[in-house]
Amino acid sequence: MTASILFLSDHPTDDGNFTYYIEREFQVLLRDAGISSHKITTVFNENPPGGDLLNWTSPKKGLPRDYTLGPLFSGKYLSPEFFPKLRNLSTIIEFQKPSLIVALGGVALWALANTSAIKSHRGAVLSTRFGPVLPTLHPKVLGPAWADRIFLAADFKKALRLSETSNPAARKSRRILIAPTLAELREFDREFLTPAPTYSIDVETKLGQITCVGFSPSPDVGAVIPFWDSAKESGSFWETLAEERAAKNLVRKWLARPALKLFQNGLYDMQYFLKERMPIRNAHLDTMLLQHAKFPELPKSLGFLGSIHTDEPAWKLMRDKADTVKRDE
């Protein structure tokens, strides 16, 4: 038996998989997204007391030493005595053979990926031992937070599109320079930036300094010019001051070209460029401002835009917490 998409919810209710109201809204979302081939199941095999899974949890203190599950909720873990309430998802998924699993809410994500951080992962496909998983919000949010419908609607449409691909978790092959030499940057300039009429720019910072600058003239090509390396005693990525100056001169040259420049929260980036005496020519568009102008009620961070408009993974979760940051909303 196969299902193109398998939806995973938290637990059944007295009315079925959802309450009557949420079931109705769930069916509307499916219809609007064009999803017809799907199945649905739940993490737990019965409704907890009062419909609240907190009743089956306990604090970390007192859990067995060999306990390996992450928290079901903040500071709350599923008590071992309630493990029998969990469905055998491996058997269910093997039987259904879905091309994509949609995790409805933090509990479903916890069961599939051992994390309940649904807001951090929402909208980005994860590779798990169960197969590709697309986390999204639980439809029950539509009761108190009607505005969250946009997230579910967008994710359901993405789920349909990804389910029709051979590998929903596949990442597109790109040519990206991460730790380039000066020679590689000059070659990148000659081959890609010089002929480009437009390119996007992004800055990362730490302690009031630029740590790296990214340039991309197309969705398939990009280069990162690093300046910070915490592993080195000097703190600089470059071996000599002359090399660092040469790298900064490349940034300065690229910013001064007539090509149109695209940013996300460009005012943040520009203040750092100006501190380094790097004037920008033809700052053209800012995706954060465009998002706010078109959808002022929605988030405008780059992470949110990426989750809605692209199939990229949640890239900010891939880096070390000590890495540099940027305000992008």
Which tens digits make up the pLDDT trace of 89-140?
Answer: 999 999 999 999 999 999 999 999 999 999 999 999 999 999 999 999 999 8
- What's the pTM value of the predicted model, to 2 decimals? 0.85
Which pair of structure tokens corresponds to residue 35?
A: 């999803």
- Poorest-confidence range of 23-27, 65-69, 320-324? 320-324
Query: Tens digits of per-residue pLDDT, 240-259?
Result: 999 999 999 999 999 999 99
Architecture in CATH of 175-317: 2-Layer Sandwich (3.30)
Q: Please tell me the distance from the alpha carbon of residue 79 to that of residue 97, in angstroms, as a whole number.
A: 30
Query: Where in the chain is CATH 3.30.420.10?
Result: 175-317
Query: What is the pLDDT at residue 294?
Result: 93
Q: Please tell me the distance from the alpha carbon of residue 84 to that of residue 262, in angstroms, as a whole number.
A: 53
Query: Where in the chain is CATH 3.40.470.10?
Result: 5-163
Query: What is the pLDDT at residue 1?
Result: 41
Q: Please tell me the distance from the alpha carbon of residue 78 to that of residue 74, in angstroms, as a whole number.
A: 11
What CATH class is the domain 5-163?
alpha beta
Asked if pLDDT for residue 79 goes beyond 70, the answer is yes
Q: What is the mean pLDDT of residues 53-61?
A: 94
Higher-pLDDT residue of 298 and 1 is 298
Band (179; pLDDT cuts 50, 70, 90): very high
